[in-house]
Structure 1
Amino acid sequence: MLKKITVEQIKPGMYVHDLICDWMSHPFVRNQFPLKTEAEIQKIRDAGIHELYIDTDKGLDVSDAPTMEEVNAQLQAEMLEAAQEPVPVIQVSVAAEMERAKKIRHQATRIVRSVMQDVRLGKAINMENVEPLVEDITSSLMRNGGALTSLLRLKTKDDYTFLHSVSVCTLMVTFCKAVGIDTETTRQAGIGGLLHDTGKMKVPDEVLNKPGRLTDEEFEIIKRHPSDGHAILLETQGVGDIPLDITLHHHERMDGSGYPDKLPGDQIHTLAQMAAIVDVYDAITADRCYHKGIPPAEALKKMWEWSKFHFNPKLMQAFMRTIGIYPVGTLVRLESGRVGVVTELHESNMLAPRVKVFFSIKSNTFIPVQEIDLSKPMGKGGADRILSHEDPAKWKIDPMRYLQ
């Protein structure tokens, strides 16, 4: 049985099933392992981990600790309550924006790749290309935020570093717009998102692209990238205070366990707090050479759990409202036994997006494509509803083909 305990409850003889933090925040080679020594327990505490899941079938138990099922039910209820506010109004459909979004994705990858290569060669960053790109991204998001954000979830190990920067820019602009931040500040936040990982170009390739967990020494090298990026941007003409702060502090955490400055939450600028959320969300939903990305809905649940210590819960709540519990492009199973892809969010109900259905589980066959609005009744039996998100790989389905 899997149970959730606090760090104060751990002892040798327990079996760790999951350290409740993002994958870049703990120094262990594996996520699951037996706890054998007090030194290992101290290492967990030193990593800023406050809670974890243990497997009581493989190690010691804590009798009154809640089970993972009980925790998940509570998290789901909290998320649904937190998300009950309107989301941004969409101007055009996903399909109408998709071709423009594809061109922007291609252009953005080329520009960010060029910027990163210039940094690696010791050349100055050319902001004349960066600023118009942020404007193009913003314009696409204003027409339909789902098109570009769903496209940017598709990354390969070869283009991850570049597309991650474009994704963080895109999500930062979306986030800022949703919470009512003014246009110029939003533009600066977008630039910060695009350039936030510039310092990674100072990290050796064999560390940056290592197909496995990092050693303690390698982790320390990676942890230098915010400071390295900040130093690079300080030498770049035309970079403002907001991109500088986002670059330096996007790995800080609310409990002071982050890096490089271990700032407590009240000393982390709001935009850097937002960037921390966006950065982790995009990282854990992407396939990497050393781990498979998790579905957006699952990522949001994990991050909501982590927000108790690592993120600003109010901002995490706003982020969930912004992208939806089932973001555009999510494969979902409906109560009716159909499978479909989320195409648009409902402006006030996170559980009732528009879904394009195309497969019947009952008959195990593809069906004529139909777009349905889950906020409206479906015949005499009442409205259909989402039961769960699904793994596209399991179904051998590319959700993107149904968004065009």
Structure 2
Amino acid sequence: MLMGRINIPVVCCDAGDVLAEDIFNQKGVLLAVKNTVMNHYIKKKLLEFGINDVWLYQPAGLFVHEAKASKKEKVEKNYKKAVFIVKKFLSQICSGGTIDYGLVNEISNTILEVIYEPGSIAQCLSELKHSDEYTYTHCVNVAFYSMLIAKWLKTPDSLTQEVIQAGLLHDIGKTKVSKEILNKKEKLTSAEWKIIKKHSQYGYEMIKDIPGISQGVLTGVLQHHERMDGSGYPGKLSGDNIGLHAKIIAVADVYDAMTQNRVYKRKVSPFESFRMFLTSGICSFDTHVLGVFLKHLPAYYIGERARLNNGLQGEIVYIPPHDVIYPIVQIGSNFLDLSKDEQLKVVDIMG
């Protein structure tokens, strides 16, 4: 567990130290976000920008690596438990049973237990993705990502809990859609696409009469495919007519869908997803929600192994907060700045 903060000279920082605050240069440009794990490349860059001292979290004890491994194990345990319960939950529904909201609460509490371990969550979600279990893992992943976004937005605890539940339930309406359509590898016909687009309405109808369910959860499920520019469904809502729960889930849903293999589409790297959000998707998603997501999540890919489209593999040593599409990748003794060669790109995070 990280406890307390300490201000030390950058020259005294070690690889593995964790920043306790955002770091800006003299012009106000964000260089590194809070919770970034220091490495030698980042240390060198901070010194080059004239950053002489930084605030770090002070580890409570000497066994930092053991504590980090323990956190990851906890997240993985809770993740697998959540997936297991989701399987049970959806199996009951598909068999004609009623929705057990007690199971939804159990899953959301399991997820909420690890809210203060975003680094381990990001690593876990990157590694534990299996296309043959997409139906189950996607619900859980969206709940995890939605929780992190709510945390970064500093929402009240009650809203965070609701966002987790809405994330878990956002695609429940797909249980009313045939597997032939859901798993079709070819392009959907217009008639099939119309059926798919009914799933958010189906989901809302399935849960609206559950005793004790909040309006926020209902809105999140119903509106998670609405878009800020009015191009979404089912109501073609826009702007402030879309609830915050739905705005959060929309980002989490699309990000996870893009970065997971599905039966009809191969995944893309997180960086290609970031590119979509910042280009074609910039008008579709709430700018504040998206901005918080793109500020915080990318930093957790620093230290991960990446495979480039030229077949080479290396370690991501830095992701500029102002340009998250282009990481710095170390291959051997060379540092590749992907913003300098747009023909190169990360195609996979190796885990």
Per the TM superposition, whether the score is higher than 0.5 is yes
The equivalent of 1:360 in structure 2 is 332
Equivalent position of 1:391 in the other structure: 347
Secondary structure of 1:308's aligned partner: coil
Counterpart residue number, 2:47? none
Partner of 1:49: none
Equivalent residues of 2:115, 2:148 under 8 A apart: yes
Once residues 103 and 302 of structure 2 are traced to their aligned partners in structure 1, the CA distance between those partners, rounded to angstroms, is 29
Contact 2:75 2:121 in 1 (8 A): yes
Corresponding residue for 2:5? none
How far did 1:94 drift?
A: 4.8
| 1:113 to 2:90 alignment | no
- Identify the residue that residue 313 of structure 1 maps to in structure 2: 287
Q: Distance in 2 between matches of 1:307 and 1:349?
A: 17
Q: CA deviation at 1:150?
A: 2.7
Q: Deviations over 1:130-184 (max 9, x none)?
A: 2232222222231x21223332234223210111110110011100111110111
Q: What residue is the counterpart of 1:167 in the other structure?
A: 141
Offset, 1:295 = 0.5
Q: Does 1:205 align with 2:179?
A: yes
Shift of 1:87: 4.1
C-alpha distance after superposition, 1:188-238 (max 9, x if no partner) = 111110111110111101011112221111111110100000011113333
Map Cα deviations across residues 93-145 of structure 1 (whole Å, 9 max, x no partner). Answer: 65332211221121111111122122222322222222232222222231x21
Find the counterpart in structure 2 of residue 145 from structure 1.
Answer: 118
2:77 to 79, 103, 110: 103
Tell whether the 8 Å contact from 2:274 to 2:294 is kept in structure 1 after alignment: yes
For 2:274, the equivalent position in structure 1 comes to 300
Q: 1:328 to 1:195 in 2, by over 3 A?
A: farther
Corresponding residue SS for 1:273: helix
Q: 1:115 to 1:235 in 2, by over 3 A?
A: farther
In the superposition, relative to structure 1, how do residues 132 and 160 fare at CA in structure 2: closer, same or farther (>3 Å)? same
**Cα distance in 2, alignment partners of residues 312 and 295 from structure 1:** 22
SS of residue paired to 2:265: coil
| 8 A contact 2:172–2:203 mirrored in 1 | yes
Bigger mean CA offset, 81-90 vs 146-155: 81-90
Cα distance in 2 for partners of 1:234, 1:155 equals 31
What is the alpha-carbon distance in structure 2 between the residues aligned to residue 137 and residue 157 of structure 1? 21
Structure 2: gaps (5+ residues): 1-27, 37-56, 339-343
Aligned to 2:314: 339
Structure 1 residues 87 and 222: CA distance shift in structure 2, 3 A: farther
**Aligned mates of 1:82, 1:194 — CA distance in 2:** 37
CA distance in 2, matches of 1:152, 1:110: 15
Which TM-score applies when normalising by structure 2?
A: 0.72
Match of 2:255 in 1: 281
The percentage of aligned residue pairs carrying the same residue is 29
Q: What is the Cα deviation at residue 327 of structure 1?
A: 3.1
How far did 1:312 drift? Answer: 1.6
**Is 1:235–2:191 an aligned residue pair?**
no
Aligned to 2:46: none
Counterpart position of 1:40: none
Checking the alignment, whether the CA contact within 8 Å between 1:331 and 1:340 is kept in structure 2 is yes
Aligned positions, number: 286
- The equivalent of 1:217 in structure 2 is 191
Distance of aligned partners of 1:134 and 1:390 in 2 relative to their CA distance in 1, 3 Å threshold: same
Q: Which consecutive residues of structure 1, in runs of 5 or more, have no partner in the other structure?
A: 1-80, 363-383, 393-397
- Contact in 1 for aligned 2:198/2:234 (Cα 8 Å): yes
Q: Which residue of 2 aligns with 1:133?
A: 107
1:88 deviates by 5.4
Deviation at 1:83, TM superposition (A): 6.8
Amino acid at match of 1:340: E
Matched residues in 2 for 1:157 and 1:332: separation?
Answer: 20
Residues 303, 315 of structure 2: 8 Å contact kept: no
